[in-house]
Structure 1
Amino acid sequence: MAREEKTREKSPTLGVIKMISGGSTDGHSNRAQKAWSRREVINVNAPSGEEEPTISFGSQDLQVVILPHNNAIFIRSKIANYNIMRVFVDSGSSINAIFQEALDQMNLKDYQLEPVETALFGSAGHTVHPQGEIVFPLTIGSEDLLKSVMVTFKVVSAPSSYNVILGRLAINDSKVVASTYH
């Protein structure tokens, strides 16, 4: 066994595979995205100034879960004062998206989409051009612990099994902690 471990340690590295992502997190040009990335690295250790609650998960959080499972995280939320079901919490997404069909069902009058130039790239390699972006208040949580933040959503006209994708931007702004097990 020890001989096999030594052999594996000496295996040459064939290359490096880096992360690929699409969609802008701040600005639409490569220059704006690089500047955003530099700011994020600089601000990692900045104190927030507010006391953070202790977050823990326990057996009580498994009451509605049938184990074993490998389910995605879907939640309910309130967006622009509409209760929205099938909101996908996706820590791998660099954007927040609301699908056009859900936006149409919200029956909002006189909303205007801000233009978006950046295309979105899905894991299957498909390119999607958002219809635009819109800012809505997002409220998540339960009766005793609610959090509301303003969120910028890319409006996507594509078939989907969910209404909204909450990506890293909304997850971080809301200070959400998700446990895929619980």
Structure 2
Amino acid sequence: MSVTGSNSSQPINPDKPEISFLPKDYKVKNRNLDDPVVISAQVGEPLVKKVLTDLRSSTDVLFYSTFQKMKLSDKALQPSTGELVGFSGERVPIRGYIWLQTTLENYPDYKTMDIQYLVVDCKSPYNIILGRPSLNAFNAIISTVHLCVKFLLQDNKVVTIHEDQREAR
């Protein structure tokens, strides 16, 4: 048996700069090897802490307790039926969905996108889960080793957001 590589090594997006993670991106002290990448994001008006970046999630989730703390009205929810099914098979009914402007930033650099969040009423250690839809919309790359997120601005500048500090969790 043999394995051969492809001769066509064309970059997927040749006009975009390479995003890489370097030793200088590693700013974590006393890290646990299974720490998730948890950041803060501007969602609507408030700055929301405890935002989990989760590539395994097929949707973006806003927990109802956070929805209420943001002083959003239930009337702002668009109807949605169905349930979210979690990792262990638990089913959580969807209360509805809402579109909110979401900003990822490392001042003075930022990027804002309209994100559709499913609102669910269940307990969570997080306020929001940014799943594949929003991470792809932001063209975000996550490094669990460096506990940070990188994304491109329109001018092809690479922006880095490091995890929230432990006391923020």
Give the TM-score, by structure 2 length. 0.73
Q: Following TM superposition, by how much is the alpha carbon of 1:148 offset from its aligned partner in structure 2, in angstroms?
A: 0.8
1:117-160: CA deviation from partner (whole Å, max 9, x where unpaired) = 23110011111111000000010131143111000000010011
What's the counterpart of residue 49 of structure 2? Answer: 85
Give the TM-score, by structure 1 length. 0.68
What's the counterpart of residue 67 of structure 2? Answer: 103
1:140-151 maps to which residues of 2 (within 5 A)? 140-151=104-115
Indicate the structure (1 or 2) with the bigger Cα radius of gyration. 1
Q: Following TM superposition, by how much is the alpha carbon of 1:58 offset from its aligned partner in structure 2, in angstroms?
A: 1.2
What's the counterpart of residue 168 of structure 1? Answer: 132
Matched, 1:179 2:134: no
What one-letter code is carried by the residue in structure 2 that aligns with 1:71?
Answer: D
Is the strand fraction higher in 1 or 2?
A: 2
What one-letter code is carried by the residue in structure 2 that aligns with 1:173?
Answer: A
> 1:52 and 1:144 mapped to 2: Cα distance?
21
Change (3 A) 1:111 1:77: farther
SS at match of 1:178: strand
Q: Following TM superposition, by how much is the alpha carbon of 1:95 offset from its aligned partner in structure 2, in angstroms?
A: 0.5
Unaligned stretches of 5+ in structure 1?
A: 1-46
> 1:68 and 1:160 mapped to 2: Cα distance?
20
> 1:67 and 1:104 mapped to 2: Cα distance?
32
1:92-113: CA deviation from partner (whole Å, max 9, x where unpaired) = 0110000011111111357511
What one-letter code is carried by the residue in structure 2 that aligns with 1:73?
Answer: V
Query: How many residues are aligned here?
Result: 135
Change (3 A) 1:111 1:60: farther
Q: Which moved more, 1:64-73 or 1:147-156?
A: 64-73
SS at match of 1:102: helix
> 1:176 and 1:56 mapped to 2: Cα distance?
12
SS at match of 1:130: strand
Is the helix fraction higher in 1 or 2?
A: 1
Matched, 1:59 2:23: yes
